[in-house]
Structures are given as C-alpha cells and as structure tokens.
Chain A
Amino acid sequence: MSLNCKTSGLNGRLLTRSKMRKPLRGCNSGWKWKRLFLFVWVPVVIGFGLSLFSGVFRKKMETCEDNSLVLVEQFNNVSKDLLHEVASSFFESDQITTLNCTKQFGNGMSTKHEISCTLKVPDHEHNAELWGQCPVHDDKAPMVQSSSVHEKLARDDNDVLKVCMWALFIIALCSPIRCLWMNRKGKMKKTEHAQSSSRSGGKWMKKLLVVFVLAGVSLSIWLFWYLNEGIQLRREETLESMCDERARMLQDQFNVSMNHVHALAILVSTFYHGKQPPAIDQETFGEYTERTSFERPLTSGVAYALRVRHFEREKFEKEHGWTIKKMETEDQDQTLAQDCDPENLDPSPVHDEYAPVILSQDTVSHIVSIDMMSGKEDRENILRARASGKGVLTSPFKLLKSNHLGVVLTFAVYKTHLLPDTTPEQRIKATVGYLGASYDVPSLVDKLLHQLASKQTIVVNVYDTTNVSAVIRMYGPEEIDTGLLHVNSLDFGDPARKHEMHCRFKQRPSLPWTAILASGGVLIITCLLGHIFYVAINRIATVEHDYREMMKLKTRAEAADVAKSQFLATVSHEIRTPMNGVLGMLQMLMDTNLDAKQLDFAQTAHSSGKDLIKLINEVLDQAKIESGRLELEAVPFELRTILDDVLSSFSTQSQEKQIELAVYVSNQLPEIVVGDPVRFKKIITNLVANSHKFTHDRGHIFVSVHLADEVTRETDMKDDMLRRILNGSKSNLACDTLSGLPVVDRKKSWENFENLSCKDSINEFEKIKILVTVEDTGVGIPIDAQNRIFMPFMQADSSPSRTYGGAGIGLSISKRLVGLMDGEIGFVSEPGTGSTFSFTAVFMKKETYSLDTVVQQCHPAISEFRGLRALVIDRKDIRAGVTRYHLQRMGISVEITSDFDSARSFLSDSDSSDFAIILVDQEVWDMESGLAFLRGLKSSTKLFVLANPISPTINDEIKSANLTATFVEKPLRLSALISCFQETLPAGNNRVVARKQSTLGDLLRDKRILVVDDNIVNRRVAEGALKKYGAIVTCVDSGKAALERLKPPHSFHACFMDLQMPEMDGFEATRQIRRLESTFNIEIKSAEVGHWHTPILAMTADVIQATDEECTKCGMDGFVSKPFEEEQLYSAAACFFESG
C-alpha cells in the first residue's frame, strides 16, 4: 500500500539522514531527541495510518454496496423484460429457493463479462420483488463507473494521506535541520566571542522554536479543517447519491406501474370496446387485474369507468341493472377508497355525462357503479386525462382502507387509436372510458426503500408540491433537522403535478474522528517537540553559562597556582638568605671557646638549620620547576661516579640500618654522558632516600641502571645481570635477589611508560635513553595511596600520627625533573614486599676519549689494578654481580664461585697466583672453612671480606687465627674499593704509590717554566701561582722574548703563553717556536739524542675563544684558563708532565 511504502520511505530517509549526521559533533543530544522522536513518531504514524486506512475501506465498502444496488436498479430497468421472463419461468416452481444462474454475454469486444446472478426466491409467491434481492455484477459501463468511483475515493484519501505525510515529514525534518543549525552555531561560537554569540544564539533558537510551534499548531488546525471538509463533502455526496438513487427508483417504479395501467387502458379499449359484444366482463377484468397486479406493485387497485352521456344514462342503467351512483360530496377525498356499500349511495344527479365504474379489480370492487365524475378531484382528473391522453394524478388523499395517503392515476380510453398530434377536442370526443388506478404512496415507498441498503441511515420524505403554499407530505415521518438535506424532484409522468423527495440522514454527523486524531496527533507531536527543544535550549544555555563560570574559576585557580609558586619561590629565597647568616654565625660560634654543652647546642642548631635549608631548597626547586624556570644543564658527566656519590651519601645510614645498598650499571652504558648531573643525582638521591625511609633493618636497596633498549629487547639481552634481575623479580624466589628477600616485579614499574625505547627519537646515535630502577624491600605503598604518590606535599600516610617524616616533596620533584629529562617515572609496589621505582632519562652521548683524562684524574689509581684477577665468593648471584661490576670498573677480571670449597678447587685448578684478590661476602664466611681457606692462600693473594657492617666476631676470629684479612664496608663503591686495595695490596709498583700522592705540587716541583705575558699583573699572578707549586718561573713580557728563551737547546720544561699580546701574539710565537724546534730536531736527528718538544700551554681568559682546534693548529699542547684554577692547571700540566 502506498501508506506503507511512504512510511518505510520516510524511515529510510530519516535513517540515512541520521547516518549522515552521525559523525558530526554536537549532534549527540539531537540524536537522542531523534530517537525519542522516533519512538513517538512511529506509533502515531501507524495509528494514524491505520485509522485513515480503515475509514477509507469502510467507505469504499459502503459505496460498493450502494453501487451494486444502483446497478441492480439500472439492470432492472434495462432488462426487466428479460428478467421477467426468467423470473416467471422460475416462478412456478416453489421448490427452488436459491438459484445461481450464470449467463455469458458475448460482447463485441474480446472481453467476456460474466454475470453471476443469485436469485433468492422467497417462499411467498406474493413477493414479486425478485430482482431486488439480486446483486448483479453488470456489464462494462457500470463496472467502469464503479471502479472510477473507487479511484476517485482512493484519490481523495490519498490526498489526505499525502498531506498528513508531508506534515509529519516536515516535522521529522525539523530535528536534523535544527541539529545542523545548532552544530553550525557551535562552530561559530568557537570563532566568535563565546558569550555574545551564544546569548544571541539562544534568543534565535527561542524565536525559531516559537515559529516552529506556531507553524505546528496552524498545521494541525489546517489539517483538521481540510480533513473535516473532505468528510463533509463525502457525506454530502453519499447523501446525494443515495437520494438520487431512491428518487430514480421511485420514479421508475411509478412509471412502470403507470405503463402497466396504460397497457390496461389499451387492453380495455381493445377487448371491451373493440369487440361487440365486449370480450371482457367484470369477472374477467377482476381476475386479469388480480393476476397482473405484480406488474403494478404500487397500485392498490384499478378500475374502469365508462363514459356515459346523459342521453345514454337510462339505456346504460338498464343494461347493467343498476343506477349510476354519486360519490359522497362531503368527503371528496375518499372516493375510491370509501369503504361503503354502493347500494347505500344516492343515485347520481343529472349531469352532462357520467363516468360510472363498470369494471374493477377485486380489491376495489365496491366502487362499481359509482360515478367518478361526481368527485371533484376525480372529475378534474378525468377531464385532464381525456384532454391530454396521458395519465394524470390526483393530489394525495387518504385512502380509506390502509389509511395511507394515496393518489389516483387516471387514463383515458379512446374509441379509436389516436395519433399523438390529436387535439384535445378530438380526444374528448373519442373518449369512451377512463381507467383509474390508486397508488398507495407510503407502502410504495416503503417497499422501494426496503430493497435498498443503508435504509437506516437516511430518512426519506416525499412531498406533493403542486401547490407551493400548501405542500402535502405524502410519505415519511415529520422532518427533524439533522443538518444535511437533499431535495430531488420526482417526475411521475404528470406534468401538472409536482413531487419532491427530501432526503436527510437520520442522525447528525458523528464527530470527524479521523480529522481530530490526525490533527491532534500533529498537535501533540508539535507540543512534544517544542517541549523537548525548549528544554534542550534551556539546558544548553545553562551548560554554557556553567562552562563560562568554570572557565573563569579555572583561570582564577591557575592564577592562584602561579601566584602560589611564585610566593613559594620568593619566600624560600627570602628564608634562605637569613638562614645563611644564621648558619654562618652558628659555624663561627662553634669555632669560639664553647664548653661541651654549648657546643652540643650549637651543633644541634646548626644541623637543624642545615636540614631546614635543604627543605627550603627542595621547595624552591619545586616552585622553580612549577613556574617553568628551571633549566637543565648539559655538561658531560660520569654516570657511575654520580651513582657512587649517591651511595656514599647513604652509606652511613644504610650501615646503621643494616640495609644492603648496591648499585649496578650495565656495561652497555657509556662512561660519559651529557646532561645535568646535579639533577640526575637529585632524582636518584630522592628515590634512594625515599626507599631508605621506608626500609627497616632488613633487605636491600638496589639501584640498577640500564639502557632502555636493553630492557625492551628481551630476546637478546646482552647483559647477564639484567636477565638475572628480571628473572629474580619475576620468579619471586627468595634466593635470587640482592638480599634474598622477595621483591616486586620491577617490569611492572615501567610497563606504563609510553616511550620506553628511544627508537623513535630524533637521532638514535646522539641520544641515549637510560632506565634507572631503585628497588627496595620496604613496607611498600598502600594501594589507595599509590595514585597520589607523585603529588607534591602528599604523603602515603598523611595522618597526624604518621610514622615517617618528610615534606613529601621529593618524589614530586623527581617526577618533574624526570619530565624535564624527557623521561617517565613509574613504580610498582606491594605493601609488605617493597617498592620499585623506575625512571627513564634521555642524555646525549659523548665520546669517551676526550674525558678519559678526567676519569684517570679522579681515580688515578685505576690503572694500577688493571689486569689483576679476582675471585668473588658469594652465594647470591646478584650481589656477586654487583661486586664484579665494581671490580671490572677497575679493570680487574673476575671469577665467581659460591662457596669456599668450590673456590678452593678453583684455585687449585688454575694457577692460584693469578688471583691477586679474593673477595668473600660476610654471609658466606664461617669460621672453620673460612680460616682453613685463608691459611691455604698464598701470601700474594689477599682476602677481603665484604661486610655490612663489619662484624667484630669475624674480625676477632681472623685475628685470633693470626691471619690477615681486610674488611671492606658496604655499600661498595669505586673509591672505597680503591683505597682499600691500595692499603692492602703489596706496593709492587712504587710509581703507583708515588702517583697516589701526586698533587699539583709534585707535578710542578722544580720544573722550569716560562711565563709569557705582556700584562705585568697577569704575569705576576701566574708566576705566583706556579711558584706556589714549586716551579721555577721565568717571566718574559712578549712573544719575541719568549722566542729568544725557547730557542733550543734550553732548560725550560714548559711554557705558559698568553694568547693576546702586542707585536707577536701567542699563536704566532708558538708557531715560530715550533719551527725552531723542528729545524733543531732535524739537526740533532743525526746525533739521535731525542726529540725536542717544549710543551706550550695557552693562557686565556676566554675559554670559548681558545678552542682546542686553534691551539693545536699552531702547535700548542693545551690551554689553561685565566685566572688559574688549581684543578684545571693540574689536569693540563699532568697531561704532559706525567707522560714526559
């Protein structure tokens, strides 16, 4: 059905629309509305459609029914004779009650129409209305007509439907359009000033909403009007068609009867007047009329009156044996129907002519011999009839028997057959008699109407309107005004008489529910949508308002935050300055003569002050970072040294707490990286301090450093240690950690890192990303506190009775510093097991060789131990690994065994003299085997006991056994190990011992040095500085003078040359000196004395200017910056004095 397709089409359209809309933002609410709208819409549409559809259908059924009746009627008229035959042929057989007859009409066209005709023959023979019960599907024309009627109706309904659909469609369209519009508005808002645009947008929306609601309301009103109009129109049409049909039927029936009466008149003329003697007598006439009364269904009776002139009266009376009677004058109307004995009537007075009834149907036999001319009405009738030659009607009057209104039809019977153009006079002359028939109008109409459907719905009235001023109602009840009225004029074949049929519905029209429902539905939808939109607009306005409020608050909060940071920074700074004074004064106070108690007080005050300064510095750091003022340095530094420093600062504490503290750096890491060593150290210190704070009397804190890449590439882990660490934490076995206590899975601490591997960083070759983990076996962080661990001033336990002190700022600073280093920080913690903190940091790579000297300088003794072999006896793999790491840093190759027995076999297997050092962990030591092992050692092999802290019992044991072993205190770190080894190991290498005490003084003592500077002050300063270290200094004030002095052979060990000098600058002077030297070298080459090369060091105030390049280009060996600094002077001088 069209309705369905339309609905689905609509839905489809809506869906595609919504699909289109989906990706757009800001449509979420709209989408919600749409869903809601659909929920409302679908039932409304379905209900609406159904009601419309059923209404249409019902009407169609009705019309069809009516149509079929009309057709039946038409059919009756057209082929009544035919049917009559058929009917009469069946009439005789009473047995047949129902019959289906099918006739095929051969049509001129190829199509064949079947007429299936069901005849219902009632039991009563009397009922002649055979065809009335017969629904006939007739031939083409009516079919076409009816189908066209159907089409028309359907079209009407379609129009209504279409209008409704459009209305709904428009409403449905509204929501996406609105959504679109709001979306656009949202975009606008972004660009424009939010406040004004949104406000105007809200107003705009409200206006649009009002327009929309008004449109919806007017639409619903219009819809109601339109639908109602349609219903009215259809009602009128129905009434009209029904009325027409009834009128036509009535007329036709009447005419049929009239024709029969006419035929009877001709019969009488033929057989009564045409034969001599007449072939019809009263008996024959009576029987004939009785038997043919079915042909005149509306007549109650027929009678024939002969025209008798006055001169013939006597003869006539004699002939028939009765006198011509007169009708009762007082009651003219009851002439024909009078129920009275004709014998009682008076004989007719003398007239020109008479019209006595001679033949009559049995039903009206009482009127025989009554003079029809004596009734005024009848007389007029007779006169008109014979003048016109047609049937004429009387005005209605009450029939006596039935007490119904009736009319009398009169036909004149002529002597001869008259031509149509005969004049009235001739007709009058030719008249021989009159045939009259009485019509019982109400029963006639009743009969008729009973044949028609929906007789209940309409009221039919028939009027005689010949006299307009006095209309006579012939049929029907009193008229009640029920609105519609349809008037049809009836033509009963008598032009002198006018009849009308009035039709109206029995009931007033019921309320137009279809229209009400449809328009009501539209109205409700409109109201609903309006309400939804209104609420939405209000909501948007509120949200926008709230948003603005929040933005304001946010800016205020941010401003307050910045102000807070600045305040912190300022206050911290302000506190620090006086604190310096306090501390300084305290320091001096301590230098004065104080007694022990006072000194104690002062010391306490001093250390408290120091703590305070430390805290303030941290707060200052935090504030600086927060306000974005902290910038990282980029200087080369040695990672491992930094870690050693951290360890040494915690060594005392960890020894007190008996916590194992260890550091391990993967060998994949370069010695030197470029970054901010201070901050890096700070992070690790914070983490270690944190771990330290929460670890009590057992377990360990283990700092390990790896490349981030190492961790990610699990498949080929180059570092054996890392694998072991990871496995240890994974397996959670007690034995495989540093202290043997279980630890958390450290992998989890970095699994949340977004960017662990630095593969995607800009240049993999220049940058390295390191991963530092600090593992402890402390109390762990409670689960609920884990998410705020990096928030400043937050403590895991912030209750007043908390166990652990601290401002809670360390981790926060660490996190921020890590962030500055392009790294990430994370942790994993299990209460009771411990915590592991991990962070990454990105550093620049730096070639190691350029700072090689620095490393050497820091630990000049390193080379002393290079090539030695060491045996580590430790049953814990990781701890042994840490030990090996430290030893390998010194260039010592390491073997590991787990206990003394295997160590002994190890020693016997290989040449034990190879092992210069044997390190035993305190845990492994037990008196018997330890001492036994010790005794078995060669004197050249030294035993070291790694202890944390030194246990006096073991020491006593060894001492009592008269053996020697050195104790090394943990945490292990390079410097401690070196000093320990140096003390213990045989001074096999004197140079090393000398080197050990080597200072700048030793380096420069008795060296003859030439200082070249044009500036007398600088010259004097340099001289003073160098003299301080025991050098013999000679000064010259120009390059030329220097050239003189340095002409080989000479006795100077080195030359310090100012770069910027008048006449001849340092570079030029150096070049000339080198030239002199090279010529001299060639000269002495034959003598093979050696190579002459005086070290020349540049002195410059500007380090940047004196790049390596420039200096080396002209043959200098290095540079020192002015003014001299001891370390730098040392490192520069050491380069060539040591090697030379």
Chain B
Amino acid sequence: MASVPQLQRQFIEYTTSLHNEGYLDDQFTQLQKLQDESNPDFVVEVVSLYFEDSEKLLNNLATALQQKSVDYKQVDSHVHQFKGSSSSIGAQRVASVCVHFRNFCEEKNLEGCLRCLQQVKQEYILVRNKLEALFRRMMQLEQQILQAGGSIPMME
C-alpha cells in the first residue's frame, strides 16, 4: 500500500499529464474546484453530460453534412454548441478543431467540413478515453487516499 503523499502525487501527476498533453486546459481545473462536499460528483456529472451532448451533436452534424443541400447555418450552430460545451469542460483540442470547423462552415466548404468532422470525432474520442481513464484512475486513487486517511489534493 502506497503512502498518502505518494498517492496524492500520483493524483496530481495524472491530471497534469492531461494538461501537458494539451487535452485539457485550466477550465477543467476550474471544474474540479467547483466540486466540493455539497456537490461531490460534479465533475463526473458534467463530463457525462458533455459526453451525451457531444454524441448527439456529432450525430446531428454527420446527418446534416450528408444532406444533399447542406444547411451550413444549422451545421454552424451545432458546431458552436459543440465548441461551447467542449470549452466549458476544458477539452481545448476539441474546441480548437471546432474553430476551424466553423471557418469552413462560413466558407461553405463541404470537404473541409467533412474533414473537420472526422478530426472533431477523433479528438472527442481521444478526450473521452482520456477522461474516462482519468475518472477511473482518480476513483481508485481517491479511494486509496481516503482509505489511507489523506485528503484529495487540490490542483493549483
């Protein structure tokens, strides 16, 4: 059994690794900060909301872009939504692809839009995997830490 400080460090390290790899930004830290005793599962809740929402949006986008006459306005609003929610949870790579996506929408560039859709999907899947892994790991760690009698360290 690892000691509490070790676990704490692992906990911090793992989150920072996600930061450093560019999947997440400060916003995620902010989210983590919002989580407290009164709202213990806040992050998980928000993130799972994000997953649901995103999957729905991605489906919408896919269908919208398969239409014969693509309604770019529609697409744009979907992408905007997707961008907003992504930046809300701090999935910055997804958000940045969304910015490109919106540019293509403005240009009404179907090819670009399709390419961006693929990218957005990839990034989304990546961040989803990462986040899921993170949550699993964090659950473990938290439990371990709590078992070991330490407190969950806050991110600076």
Interface residues of A (CB under 8 A from B): 588, 591-593, 1014-1018, 1020-1021, 1024-1025, 1027-1028, 1060, 1062, 1101, 1122-1125
Contacts and interface: CB of A to CB of B under 8 A. Distances in A.
B80 to A, nearest CB: 6
B5 interface: yes
30 contacts: A588-B5, A588-B9, A591-B5, A1014-B81, A1015-B53, A1015-B84, A1015-B85, A1015-B88, A1016-B49, A1016-B52, A1016-B85, A1017-B85, A1020-B49, A1021-B34, A1021-B46, A1024-B31, A1024-B39, A1024-B46, A1025-B30, A1025-B34, A1027-B38, A1027-B39, A1028-B36, A1028-B38, A1060-B84, A1101-B83, A1101-B84, A1122-B84, A1122-B87, A1122-B88
Interface string B25-48: 001001100111011001001100
A1101 B50 CA distance: 17
A1016 B77 contact: no
Contact of B46 (A591, A1017, A1060): A1017
Nearest to B86: A1017
Nearest to B54: A1017
Given A588-B9, A1062-B77, A1123-B27, A1021 B88 contact: yes
A572 B122 CA distance: 37
B89 interface: yes
Given A1021-B89, A1024-B46, A1028-B39, A1016 B84 contact: no
B152 to A, nearest CB: 14
Interface of B: 5, 9, 27, 30-31, 34-36, 38-39, 42, 45-46, 49-50, 52-53, 77, 80-81, 83-85, 87-90
Contacts of A1016: 49, 52-53, 85
Contacts of B53: 1015-1017
Nearest to A1058: B84
Contacts of B36: 1028
A973 to B, nearest CB: 27
Contacts of B27: 1123
Contact of A1018 (B5, B38, B85): B85
A1122 to B, nearest CB: 7
Given A588-B9, A592-B5, A1062-B77, A1017 B30 contact: no
Nearest to A591: B5
Interface centre among B27, B50, B77, B88 (most CB of A within 10 A): B88
Contacts of A1020: 45-46, 49
A588 B12 CA distance: 11
B9 A1024 contact: no
A597 B2 CA distance: 25
Nearest to A1123: B27
A1024 B85 contact: no
B80 A1060 contact: yes
A1024 B89 CA distance: 12
A1122 B26 CA distance: 12
Contacts of B77: 1062
Nearest to B34: A1024
Contacts of A1124: 30
Q: Across the A-B interface, give the 4 residue pairs with the lowest CB-CB distance, nearest first.
A: A1017-B85, A1024-B34, A1123-B27, A1017-B50
Contacts of A592: 5
A1021 B31 contact: yes
A309 to B, nearest CB: 164
A92 B25 CA distance: 153
A1024 B87 contact: no
B34 A1028 contact: yes
A335 to B, nearest CB: 152
Given A1016-B53, A1123-B30, 13 more contacts: A588-B9, A1016-B52, A1017-B46, A1017-B50, A1018-B88, A1025-B34, A1027-B38, A1028-B39, A1060-B84, A1101-B84, A1123-B88, A1124-B30, A1125-B30
A254 B85 CA distance: 151
A513 B89 CA distance: 113
A1011 to B, nearest CB: 12
A181 to B, nearest CB: 65
Interface centre among A1018, A1028, A1060 (most CB of B within 10 A): A1018
A990 to B, nearest CB: 29
B39 to A, nearest CB: 6
B86 to A, nearest CB: 8
Contact of A1017 (B34, B38, B39, B49): B49
A1015 B52 CA distance: 11
A1101 B45 contact: no
A1052 B53 CA distance: 28
B100 to A, nearest CB: 16
Contacts of A1024: 31, 34-35, 39, 42, 46
Given A1027-B39, A1028-B39, A1017 B88 contact: yes
Nearest to B45: A1020
B52 to A, nearest CB: 8
Contacts of B39: 1024, 1027-1028
B9 to A, nearest CB: 6
Interface centre among A592, A1016, A1101, A1122 (most CB of B within 10 A): A1016
A1122 B84 CA distance: 9
Contacts of B87: 1101, 1122-1123
A588 B6 CA distance: 10
A1084 to B, nearest CB: 37
Contacts of A1101: 83-84, 87
A952 to B, nearest CB: 39
A745 to B, nearest CB: 49
A1123 B89 CA distance: 9
Contacts of B35: 1024
Contacts of A1015: 53, 81, 84-85, 88
A998 B81 CA distance: 35
A1065 to B, nearest CB: 11
Contacts of A1017: 46, 49-50, 53, 84-85, 88-89
A338 to B, nearest CB: 154
A591 B39 CA distance: 28
A592 B7 CA distance: 12
A1124 B89 CA distance: 11
Nearest to A1027: B39
Nearest to A592: B5
A542 B113 CA distance: 69
A1017 B47 CA distance: 8
A227 B90 CA distance: 108
A1021 B48 CA distance: 12
Contacts of B9: 588
A1014 B89 CA distance: 15
Nearest to B31: A1021
A593 B5 CA distance: 9
A1101 B46 CA distance: 18
A588 B50 CA distance: 34
Contacts of B52: 1016
Contacts of B90: 1123
Nearest to A1100: B84
B51 to A, nearest CB: 9
A592 B36 CA distance: 25
A259 to B, nearest CB: 140
Contacts of A1021: 31, 34, 46, 88-89
Given A1024-B39, A1027-B38, A1027-B39, A1018 B45 contact: no
Contacts of B46: 1017, 1020-1021, 1024
A892 to B, nearest CB: 38
Contacts of A593: 5
A878 to B, nearest CB: 43
B94 to A, nearest CB: 12
A1123 B30 CA distance: 8
Nearest to B90: A1123
A1016 B77 CA distance: 14
A1122 B90 CA distance: 11
A445 B34 CA distance: 151
